[in-house]
Structure 1
Amino acid sequence: MADDEEVSFGTFGLRVEGGVGLVVFERPPVNAFRVSTYEELLAVTEHIEGREDIRAVVLAGGSGSRCWCGGADINDFAEMDEAKRKERYGFVNAVIPRFARLELPVVAAISGHAIGIGVLLAAVCDIRIAADTAQFATPEVNYGLIAGSSRLLNSLGVPEGLVRELAYTGRRAGAAELHEAGFIDHVVPRGRVLEESLSLARAIAVKDRRVLASRKRVFVEHENLAWFDAYLLAQRESSLLVGSDAARRGVDRFLKGSRSSGAG
């Protein structure tokens, strides 16, 4: 497939340039998730995984929607019973963890609000760059439901008290507040979100794809391991890379640079 050629997966579009896959989510008016949206996210995830020319991903919201991800489509809940709710959870549980395990670094370019599932979607990305106007909320309590992302937010460093406050009240927290709490990595003006996200992704995309995939696998596994088990896992993965072309080139560059510096 040619570089810069756009591929459509329903509400998700993919364009690749310079090793960076830009995924744009566009489902006006607020980028809400229906069951079909999960199916489309799974399709784009599997497509990216199978492409050797993509080494980093940026997940952005389209300009035609008011939110980066406005949460679940409440229309789906109008006549939902327990069985249908469990069926919906089946889609969530099959797709979001699959996206989280995508063996490439993912930068969330959060130009608008992230609500409900949008918070979870942002959380499973590797790096989060948010607009200074973006707001985040888990408002499920307002609809007689509860959010399921609290433990994941804890693992990213968000204080338990803040997680519970947001879950109990359903209030919105601004990007600056969540940056201070450790959830958002960079806060920039809205007009610079995509530019900054692509710039960071390009800096990642110059690295070797096999190394990036290995590093991502280890990060994902680390979340479920004690610190020393995680350390040993990283050692095993690194040992598999040691004889690769990328490793040899990296060591050679370092040694040549050290000799040049020493000569000076």
Structure 2
Amino acid sequence: MAAQHVFGAFSLDIRDDGVCIATFSRPPVNAVSLSVYEDIGRFADHVTEDDSIRVIVITAPDDSRAWCGGADLHEFKGMTASKRKERYQFINAQLPRFHRIDRPMIAAIRGATVGVGVMLAGMCDMRVASENARFTCPEVDYGLVGGSPGLFATLRMPEAKVREMVYTGRAFTARELESTGFFNYVVPSAAVLPIALDLAEQIARKSMPTLRARKLASLMWEGSGWMDAYLEAQEISSALVENPESKAAVLAALERGQGPGR
């Protein structure tokens, strides 16, 4: 490794060939707290300024229960509409920085990917997933509205499957979602990281100015429509958060123990 940097829950190992392995580690389930959103922003800022990074592979430790376990529900206890909006204001200062990273990003997913984790995976340029990795948008179970559908639409996922995911909140394996085109490869777990790294090595050999220009062109093509939809979903979700059913659902999930697939 040429260099290593740590930004809270994210450690960046930058190889001599320009491949950066970004490992997300926040035991037990890689839940996303406000501090993790801050780490995401710092990670994104560093990549923007580090010309030694040519391509990024985002993974989780081998023993992690999830690639990303979704929002940290502990932060939702006692949530009010005004607090929810403040939370969104903070999140909205971080996620766009991750989305605008001007280097190719590959999600190497071997574990459960929940809620905001699905969004983070969708913001990556490519996704390599374990056939048994579970993906879920469970916000409906907590009386809330998630922001993934707009991003799914941008990625041309079949609308019928998107609505099934967000209305039922149930978990789907990568193999079940393979036909949606969300993934580049769906493979046995042991093959996920090697395939992601092989892709990264191919990309790292390309011209840096061209890679950056290609990524920016892709972002321009994608447009801001999905983000506008996400912001509208935030307004709707903020109004729901004080609903007694929402509060009860969050507390029940915490009593069960927040786990991947929920």
TM-score by length of 1: 0.82
Q: Which amino acid is 2:165 matched to?
A: L
Q: Give me the whole-angstrom Cα distance separating, in 2, the residues matched to 1:104 and 1:5.
A: 18
Does the alignment pair 1:130 with 2:129?
Answer: yes
Q: CA deviation at 1:4?
A: 3.1
CA offset at residue 96 of structure 1? 1.7
Q: Deviations over 1:46-87 (max 9, x none)?
A: 111111111100011122420000000011101111111111
In structure 1, stretches of 5+ residues that fail to align are: 227-264
Q: How far off its partner does 1:174 sit? A: 1.1
Deviation at 1:6, TM superposition (A): 1.8
2:4 aligned partner, one-letter code: E
- SS at the partner of 1:129? strand
Q: Which has the larger radius of gyration?
A: 1
Name the aligned partner's letter for residue 11 of structure 2: G
Counterpart in the other structure of 1:170: 169
Query: Which runs of structure 2 are paired with 1:4-153 in the superposition (5 Å)?
Result: 4-17=2-15, 18-153=17-152
The RMSD of aligned alpha carbons is 1.4
Q: Kindly indicate whether structure 1 or structure 2 has the higher relative contact order, using CA contacts under 8 Å at least 6 residues apart.
A: 2
What whole-Å deviation, never above 9, does each CA across 1:19-54 have from its counterpart, x for those lacking one?
111100000111000000000011111111111111
1: distance between equivalents of 2:173 and 2:96? 26
Match of 2:184 in 1: 185
Tell me, yes or no, if the aligned pair for 1:107 and 1:128 is still in contact at 8 Å.
yes
Large movers: runs of 4+ above 2 Å: none
Contact kept in structure 2, 1:114 and 1:135, CA below 8 Å: yes
Q: Is the 8 A contact 1:28 1:64 kept in 2?
A: no
Aligned to 2:154: 155
SS, match of residue 3 in structure 2: coil
Residue 225 of structure 1: how far off its partner (Å): 8.5
* Aligned sequence identity (%): 44
- The aligned amino acid for 2:164 is E
Q: Distance in 2 between matches of 1:12 and 1:225?
A: 27
**Number of residue pairs aligned between Structure 1 and Structure 2:** 224
In structure 2, the gaps of 5 or more residues are 226-262
Matched residue type, 1:199: D
Alpha-carbon shift at residue 133 of structure 1 (Å): 1.1
Hey, what's the Cα distance between the residues in 1 that align with 2:156 and 2:101?
A: 22
Letter in 1 for 2:67: W
Q: Aligned partners of 1:151 and 1:126: how far apart in 2?
A: 16
**TM-score under structure 2 length normalisation:** 0.83
Q: Deviations over 1:184-227 (max 9, x none)?
A: 1101111121111111101000111111001100100101289x
Q: Is the 8 A contact 1:24 1:59 kept in 2?
A: yes
Question: Does the 8 Å contact 1:61/1:68 carry over to 2?
Answer: yes
Q: Which amino acid aligns with 2:21?
A: L
Code of the residue aligned with 2:99 in structure 1: it is: A
